[in-house]
């Protein structure tokens, strides 16, 4: 039985690929560009060109609000997804942070839990792994190793950072070590019991189980190994017929063991051109584009600006009510009632359209 659900041709060789945790968006690295697609209709929403060399890794925050990109140009960029989606097609949105503290290509990215307040780890060929704070963009920790780092991941509680080296070693870095040092050197001979040894070639991917007891690693030595983190013992080795480039632990989907299980939503073909630049015939055949509040944009004041203005008026009304300005309060209340009726009208139109 053929398991291929859909074959999607991309604009070039894809060097990295990730999906948002909420399942709405797909990111792909093609050369030095980041392509953002909407999964439900296949629209290409944005092409981001802020890297100077080929992309190597992409990852989302757990709440899908931000994503990170790393490339061979030694830069790691933090992007706000909603800023990217709201940008005009003619504008190139700016990343929220540009991390330029690595001196050689970025090889891997990992994002912890907490949405925009999460911490992120970056790995590089410059023999360092760095821990960053997404909200402020600050560098929290830099660990220097004696080999280039190809893979990095955090456990669920973020007590430890695991780094895979080019020589096949996997290093366990304690993030709660005392005293706290921003720059640290990992000396293998001193860090006894914190190195996983078994791979004979570079480690390309790492993943920790949700209970924090198991570590999965893939390598160019054509094996995937499952480790017990506490004892550093290899529990299982799975052999492959070529270098392993990606492996991760995932919770089993509900219909995984159902022989008749199929994807609930068929995947459309991803567009090669930015949404809105296709010909009218193609766009008309794809579906309807719905924009709310368009009738209010003609006045030059956007709907968000008007809502913010009303919000500030609500607070000023509350203050003036305290000093007894009843006449002004009546005017403000009538304006707010008019705004509520407008919102109800928009809501009814949306309901009828749906």
Q: Is residue 197 part of a domain?
A: yes
Does 193 have pLDDT greater than 50? yes
Backbone Cα Rg of the chain: 25
Contact of 131 with 169, CB cutoff 8 Å: no
82 lies in the same domain as 124: no
Q: Which of 4-8, 247-251, 282-286 has the lowest mean pLDDT?
A: 282-286
**Whether the model pTM is above 0.85:** no
Write the DSSP string, 159-224: SEEEEEETTS-EEEEETT-SS--SEEE--TTTSTT-EE---SS-EEEEEE-TTSSEEEEEETTSEE
pLDDT value for 273: 84
113 lies in the same domain as 61: no
168 lies in the same domain as 197: yes
- Output 136 or 278, whichever has higher pLDDT: 136
User: Which residues lie across from 59 on neighbouring strands?
Assistant: 68
Instruction: Quick: pLDDT tens for 218-230.
Output: 999 999 999 999 9
C-alpha closest to that of 168 among 122, 234, 230, 106? 234
Does 174 have pLDDT greater than 70? yes
Q: Is residue 330 part of a domain?
A: no
Q: Is residue 90 part of a domain?
A: yes
Domain of residue 93: give its range. Answer: 9-99
pLDDT value for 124: 96
**Nearest-10 crossing angle of helices 303-322, 326-353:** 150
Q: Which of 200, 232, 249 is the last residue of a domain?
A: 249
Which CA distances in Å does 124 have to 143, 165, 199, 281, 323? 11, 10, 19, 47, 62
48 lies in the same domain as 147: no
pLDDT value for 49: 92
Does 280 have pLDDT greater than 50? no
How many domains does the chain contain in total? 2
Q: Name the pLDDT band for 140 (thresholds 50, 70, 90).
A: very high
Does 258 have pLDDT greater than 70? yes
Instruction: Quick: pLDDT tens for 19-74.
Output: 999 989 999 999 999 999 998 888 999 999 999 999 999 999 999 999 999 999 99
Taking the CA atoms of residue 295, residue 37, residue 348 and residue 294 in that order, the dihedral angle to the nearest 10 degrees is 0
């Amino acid at each position: 039985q053929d398991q291929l659900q859909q074959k999607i041709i991309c604009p070039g060789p894809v060097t990295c690929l990730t999906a948002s945790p909420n399942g709405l968006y797909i990111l792909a690295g093609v050369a030095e560009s980041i392509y953002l697609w909407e999964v439900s209709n296949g629209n290409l929403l944005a092409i981001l060109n802020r890297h100077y060399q080929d992309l190597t890794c992409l990852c989302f925050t757990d709440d899908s609000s931000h994503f990170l990109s790393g490339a061979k140009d030694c830069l790691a960029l933090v992007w706000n997804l909603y800023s990217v989606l709201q940008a005009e097609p003619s504008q190139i949105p700016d990343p929220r942070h540009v991390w330029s503290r690595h001196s050689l290509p970025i090889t891997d990215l990992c994002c912890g839990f907490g949405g925009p307040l999460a911490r992120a780890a970056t790995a590089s060929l410059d023999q360092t792994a760095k821990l960053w704070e997404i909200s402020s963009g600050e560098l929290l920790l830099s660990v220097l190793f004696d080999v280039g780092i190809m893979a990095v991941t955090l456990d669920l509680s973020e007590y430890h950072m695991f780094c895979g080296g080019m020589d096949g070693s996997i290093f366990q870095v304690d993030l709660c070590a005392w005293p706290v040092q921003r720059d640290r050197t990992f000396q293998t001979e001193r860090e006894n019991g914190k190195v996983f040894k078994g791979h004979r070639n570079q480690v390309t991917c790492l993943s920790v189980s949700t209970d924090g007891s198991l570590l999965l690693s893939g390598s160019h030595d054509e094996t995937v190994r499952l480790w017990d983190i506490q004892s550093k013992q290899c529990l299982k080795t799975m052999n492959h017929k070529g270098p392993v480039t990606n492996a991760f632990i995932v919770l089993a989907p509900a219909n995984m063991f159902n022989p008749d299980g199929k994807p609930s939503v068929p995947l459309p073909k991803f567009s090669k051109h930015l949404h809105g630049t296709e010909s009218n015939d193609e766009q008309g055949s794809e579906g309807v584009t719905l924009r709310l509040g368009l009738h209010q944009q003609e006045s030059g004041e956007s709907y968000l600006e008007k809502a913010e203005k009303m919000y500030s008026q609500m607070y000023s009304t509350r203050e003036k009510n305290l000093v007894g300005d009843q006449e002004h309060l009546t005017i403000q209340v009538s304006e707010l009632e008019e705004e509520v009726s407008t919102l109800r009208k928009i809501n009814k139109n949306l309901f009828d359209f749906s």
